[in-house]
Amino acid sequence: MTDYEQGSITLAGAIAMGTGVMIGAGIFALTGQIAELAGPLFPLSFIAGAIVTGFSAYTYIKMSNAYPSAGGIGMILHKAYGPKTVAAGAALLMALSMVINESLVARTFGTYLLRGLGMEPSTPLVPILGVALIVFAYLVNVAGNRSVGLVSILMAVLKVFGIAVFGGAALWASGFSFEATASDLETGATGFVGSLALSILAFKGFTTITNSGAEITRPHRNVGRAITISILICAAVYLLVAFGVGSSLPLDQIVAAKDSALAEAARPALGQTGFYLTVALALVATASGLIASIFAVSRMLAMLTDMKMIPHSHFGMPGTIKDHTLVYTVVIAGLLTLFFDLSRIASLGAFFYLVMDILIHWGVWRNLRQDVGVRGGVLLTAIALDAAVLVTFGAMKLQSDPTIVLVGIVGMAAVFGFEHVFLKRVADTHDEHRHPH
């Protein structure tokens, strides 16, 4: 079994971990992409995304309070479906969506750093800098849980305060006007609903807390509290910053800046000094988000290995399974960072996450709602909201970038096919041990 340190993450550390992952991807990597889909209403997309996330979080909180686990998502799926292909496949989709998010954050780090240095972020330096950040995050995680918790708390406080100051200062400098309304870009209701896929992606970092449940102090109480508080903090920060960006730049400039929208919004509102401070804030936010995400996904993979839901090989490496899955996480995230751009990374992550989320709600509603005491109507609402966003976003991407839709479908089919073959071999091996010839 893997070696987990029970009680090694405080409530404050868990909140910092959740907000660290969410803010790292949500504001700095996704604001421009959400504005492109939602149009002038993009600040409200974050609020709608928080509402959808709230319905989803209900399931995770109820399950985590009942069964706190270091592999939270895997545990929920295993309880809901048993050791079957759908559980293992959905759990692996979640892990992959988290690794995809890590590559998103890593490339965002490289983009903002080059902006700060006065260089165009289209150079090959973006993925190289992203991989360097992933290596740094790996070293912090190797130092242990308490190092992760301390770094997460310090960085979370710094960036929440800094981002709030940015949003407030930008609104003040603009005289509380909203420049993003002055645009010819027409998106309509379909574009707004499609943008929720990325807004939800900006909040999905709360699952980081679920995946570290067994290591949080007083988990039956604190896991749910940490999830709720982190979502509320991020919703407030996202809304403030979205209005700050919209007050500084017209919509077409936000869309043009896309991957570094906050830095570009800081320049007219706060001057050159504000620009550099925003870049520094982005570097802190993305670094802390990556550290927290790598911590959580490596634990989840280790738990899935313990549950015999994914195969494992140590490849000659010393240490525990948890140490090995940490290496796997970093390697996969590094490869994605090198070969995919930000827009496609975000789309793929949204597809994987929404499908997994629907499967979790359905499994709990069908098999566990009475055992855990959840309200079936809330679960069915979460499924309906996720499905509506997934179908709308998928239809939009099918028109603008059919390749990434194909990659998503093939990728999910490959995941479930792989898990079916693996679990069948595990079952056959188990039968052979029970009935030797």
Residue 1, pLDDT > 60, answer no
Average pLDDT across the chain, whole number: 81
Number of other CB atoms surrounding residue 25 within 10 Å = 28
Residue 372 pLDDT level (bands cut at 50, 70, 90): confident
Measured distance CA(118)–CA(122) in Å, rounded = 12
Residue 416, pLDDT > 90, answer yes
Measured distance CA(199)–CA(208) in Å, rounded = 17
Single pTM value for the model:
0.84
Which pLDDT belongs to residue 315? 56
Number of other CB atoms surrounding residue 271 within 10 Å = 12
Measured distance CA(410)–CA(302) in Å, rounded = 25
**In the chain, what's the furthest Cα-to-Cα distance?**
82
Query: What would the DSSP string read from start to end of 151-178?
Result: HHHHHHHHHHHHHHHHHHHHHHHTTT--
Residue 184 pLDDT level (bands cut at 50, 70, 90): low
Residue 319 pLDDT level (bands cut at 50, 70, 90): low
70: Cβ contacts below 8 Å, ≥ 6 apart = 2, 4, 211, 212, 213, 214, 215, 299, 300, 302, 303
Residue 324, pLDDT > 90, answer no
Which pLDDT belongs to residue 431? 55
Q: Where are the domains positioned within the chain?
A: 11-393
CATH class of 11-393: mainly alpha
* Consecutive H or E run containing 364: helix 342-367
What's the pLDDT tens digit per position in 43-67? 899 999 999 999 999 998 888 777 7
Residue 2, pLDDT > 50, answer no
Q: Which of 25-29, 77-81, 83-87, 248-252 has the lowest mean pLDDT?
A: 25-29
Which pLDDT belongs to residue 381? 96
